[in-house]
Each structure stands twice: as structure tokens, then as C-alpha cells.
Amino acid sequence: MKLMVIGSGGREHALIRKLRENPAVTRIYALPGNGGMAPDAECVPISAEDLDGAAAFALRERVDFAVVAPDGPLCLGMVDRLEESGIPSFGPRKNAAVIEGSKLFAKELMRKYGIPTAEYRSFDRHEEALEYLRGVSFPRVVKADGLALGKGVRVCQTREEAEQAVRAMMEERIFGDSGNTVVVEECLAGPEVSVLCFTDGETLKPMVSAMDHKRALDGDLGLNTGGMGVVAPNPFYTPEIAGECMRTIFLPTVRAMKAEGRTFKGCLYFGLMLTADGPKVIEYNCRFGDPEAQAVLKLLESDLLDIMVAVREGTLARTPVEFSREHACCVIAASGGYPEAYETGFPVAVQNTGGAFIDYAGVKRGGDALYTAGGRVLSVTATAPTLPEAAGAAYQAMDGVHFEGMRFRRDIGKRAMEERV
Ligand code: AMP
Ligand code: GLY
């Protein structure tokens, strides 16, 4: 079987690694992939957002199954385009990917179907947003409606900060059309949990829960990033809470999407906050998280390709989705300066990483060597029977990773370990 994976990050490397475990897989193409994936996939220089290019390539190479991983191509309709060309594909169609592509769509869906989330108001004129901000208490959260590379959310402690966020999004248009509409939300408090779920539109099977570490610096300080590390499972997510989420959030969301004529098939990612009033949805993503995938997929014991085929065909109910009871810890090595400006082009050296997994992200190949080419350069993931052992192994492996300006958080898993005690 020939597979094609759309995307180029660490998440895609983790997906490819797992897909390769199926003995029927003979070849995996990554579009465009990255230089670090070379031993696991053949990188093809076609952009992840080139719908026609990807479809033409898949037809020419007789690709049997495609996996579309990033939000950009999903929201553009990559799955629709591939399926129209006769290429069976994993991922939601465009009309379902909107659950991530428009925050206002997601909020209206939750309001209509009674799914717990933060109270909100939406605005498409900045004067009205500013007027509203004059009459409310703080903190508040200001969100750009559309995709914004994970940077469209500002948690604002004061009215001045919120006004500035509204002006930046709506007047200065820092996210372009993604800021045409903004959502202003009540600020929730509590531990955050990421739960990635497989769903075929009827049946939903959650993966092991995860805890992302979004801030750039130790102690959850510094700027928000795409994620600096993950542990799985998340100790705050107890079996009782999992049951409540299934009842009040996961199944209602899948049913709501179906009722709206937007059946969601793929990986539905629930970003949750465990508030004093129960679990609430902070965000939906229409895809695997990055770096959540790097941690969670290491614990998947069932066959990923079988699950993905079942999701597409609507047979998830009779397809096993089993996870090991071990713990995973994933730590990102980033370029100095990330998530702000950083330099690239430095050689990447990786040695003696023991049993840990290296998933490459922002790297490119030059001859036999790898060079940095992005903010998040690679991730190191280890699994072990306990979280302290997994974190210890991940950090030990990180000692074998070097590139100029490299930085990583030294406290991935610390909060989770404190919760355990
Ligand atoms: P997102 O880009 O949607 O993942 O949001 C980024 C981060 O903003 C989340 O991980 C939360 O920490 C925070 N956030 C988003 N919405 C809220 C909210 N309503 N209350 C408190 N924090 C929030
Ligand atoms: N790590 C968060 C995300 O993928 O959106």
C-alpha cells in the first residue's frame, strides 16, 4: 500500500512512524515533509496547501490512502479534493474543518447544542467591540475568528490590553481576514487538558489525554508558542471527568456536527479547561495537535492505518483503539528566539538518544547533514511505566541533541508530577 501524508512538522513525522508499523505499507510520501523524515518517508516538494498538486501527484503515483494532518489544507478542502479524485483520505471535509477554521462557528455550535464553553460575544465592527469592552469586567479573552497560526488568542488582564488586541486584529489586520470577526470571551480558570479523539461521525474513541506546555519559558512564563512539550496521560483528567466529557462534550459535539450536515470524520481535538463548574471547551481543532501527536501516538498499541481506514469507512465502532498504560514525555528543541525572530541554517547533531524517539520538524537536509530551518526544530519523546522515568529518559536523550542557539523547557511534566503526588 502506498500512503501520502500531507504536512511537514513533528506531528507528521510521528504519524508516518506509526503508519509504517502496518506490514501492508510499502511506501510513504510526505508532501512536503522535512529533511529529517528521510529514513521514514520520501519527501515530495509539493506544498501542503497545493490541492491540485497533491491530487495530481496521488493519481500519478497511485497512492492508496492519504492522511491530511495540518489545519490549513483541511480548511481549504484538501480532503474533498483528494476524495473527488478517487483518493481515499483521512481527515474532515472542508465543511466540518470549519469547527477549527472559524471560532465563531464553534461558539455558535456550542451555544445551540448546549455544549459547555465560556460565555462570549462576537463582533464584526471594531467600534462595537470597543464599546462592549467599556462595560465589562476583566480578565477577558479576545480571539480572532479565523486561523492565525496558533497566535489568534489573547488573554487580556486589563481593558487596555483587550482594546489593543481588538485594534491589532480588526484595524491593523495583523491576521488579515482571520480578524474580520472577533470573539470576546469570559476568562475561565483551571487545568487544561487536550483530548484527541478518532471519530467516524457516529462513534467516537478518545485517545489517551495529554497536557501541552504552550508557554515558551519554564514555569509557564513567556510568550505562547505552538507547544514546547507534552505529557500523556494528563493526571488531572480522571476517569470521572473523562466520563463527564464524553457525556456533555464529546458525543454532543459529534452529534451536533452531524445534525448540521457537517459530519466530522477524522481526529477531533478537544482543548478543555477543567473549571470549578465542570469541564468546558476552550477550543476545537480539526486535526491532531502538534506536539500532542508526538506523545500520544507513542502510546497507541492498535494499528493506526486500520483506525484511519475505519474512520473514513464508518466502521470505527468495531475497530480497536487501545493505548498502553505507560507514560510519554515529549520535549521540543527550538531555535533561540522562538516564537519571535530566530536564525536558521545551523547544523543539527543528534547522538546517543537511547530508546527515545526523535521527530523532526523545522529541519532541512544538505548532503548527509541536517540544518535548522524553523522555530520548533525537533522533539524528543520517551515512554516509560511512570512519568518521572519518561521525563528522565527524554531529558537524558536531549543531552545528545545539539545545534547553535538551541533551547528547550526543563520543566515539561513538572506540574503533572506534582499533581500525582
Ligand atoms: P488556543 O489558541 O485556542 O489554543 O488558545 C490559546 C490558549 O489561550 C489556551 O490554551 C488557553 O490557555 C487560553 N485560553 C483560550 N480561551 C480561554 C478562556 N476562555 N479562558 C481562559 N483561557 C483561555
Ligand atoms: N499544540 C496545540 C495545537 O496543536 O493546536
363-393 confidence digits (pLDDT tens): 999 999 999 999 999 999 999 999 999 999 9
Strands 182-186 and 120-123: antiparallel
- 29's grid cell: 510520501
- Per-residue pLDDT, averaged over 48-57, amounts to 98
CA distance 5 to 275: 37
Angle of CA points 311, 97, 240, to nearest 5° = 65
308-312 long-range contacts, CB within 8 A, separation 24+: 308/65, 308/67, 308/90, 309/65, 309/88, 309/90, 310/200, 311/90, 311/198, 311/199, 311/200, 311/265, 311/266, 312/88, 312/89, 312/90, 312/200, 312/265
How would DSSP label each residue in 284-301?
A: EESS--TTHHHHHGGGB-
CA distance 50 to 47: 5
Q: Is the peptide bond before 139 cis (omega within 30 degrees of 0)?
A: yes
346-361 tens-digit pLDDT: 999 999 899 999 999 9
Residue whose CA lies nearest to ligand 1 atom number 13: 155
Ligand 2 nearest atom to the CA of residue 227, by list position: 1
- 44's grid cell: 515530495
Residue whose CA lies nearest to ligand 2 atom number 5: 289
pLDDT at 163: 94
pLDDT at 87: 98
Is the pLDDT at 420 greater than 70? The verdict is no
**Ligand 1 contacts CB of residue 292 (under 6 A):** no
Separation of 108 CA from ligand 1 center, angstroms?
Answer: 17
pLDDT at 67: 98
Centroid of chain to Cα 401: 24
pLDDT at 419: 85
Confidence of residue 48 (pLDDT cuts 50, 70, 90): very high
CA distance between the termini of the chain: 46
Separation of 282 CA from ligand 1 center, angstroms?
Answer: 6
pTM listed for this prediction: 0.96
Cβ-proximal residues to 374 (8 Å cutoff; 6+ apart), any chain: 335, 344, 361, 362, 363
215 DSSP 8-state letter:
E
407-418 tens-digit pLDDT: 999 999 999 999
Give the ligand with the smallest distance to the CA of 175.
1
Ligand 2 nearest atom to the CA of residue 291, by list position: 1
Is the pLDDT at 231 greater than 60? The verdict is yes
Separation of 218 CA from ligand 2 center, angstroms?
Answer: 18
**Ligand 1 contacts CB of residue 192 (under 6 A):** yes
pLDDT at 329: 98
CA distance 204 to 258: 13
**Ligand 2 contacts CB of residue 292 (under 6 A):** yes
**Ligand 2 contacts CB of residue 290 (under 6 A):** yes
pLDDT at 340: 92
CA distance 357 to 153: 31
- Per-residue pLDDT, averaged over 160-179, amounts to 93
**Ligand 2 contacts CB of residue 201 (under 6 A):** no
Give the ligand with the smallest distance to the CA of 295.
2
123-160 tens-digit pLDDT: 999 999 999 999 999 999 999 999 887 788 999 999 99
Separation of 107 CA from ligand 2 center, angstroms?
Answer: 19
Separation of 162 CA from ligand 1 center, angstroms?
Answer: 14
- Per DSSP, helices labelled H in 224-354 are 239-245, 251-259, 292-296, 304-313
Confidence of residue 421 (pLDDT cuts 50, 70, 90): very low
Residue whose CA lies nearest to ligand 1 atom number 18: 187
What mean pLDDT, rounded, does the chain reach? 96
Give the ligand with the smallest distance to the CA of 282.
1
59-111 tens-digit pLDDT: 999 999 999 999 999 999 999 999 999 999 999 999 999 999 999 999 999 99
Separation of 188 CA from ligand 1 center, angstroms?
Answer: 8
pLDDT at 149: 79
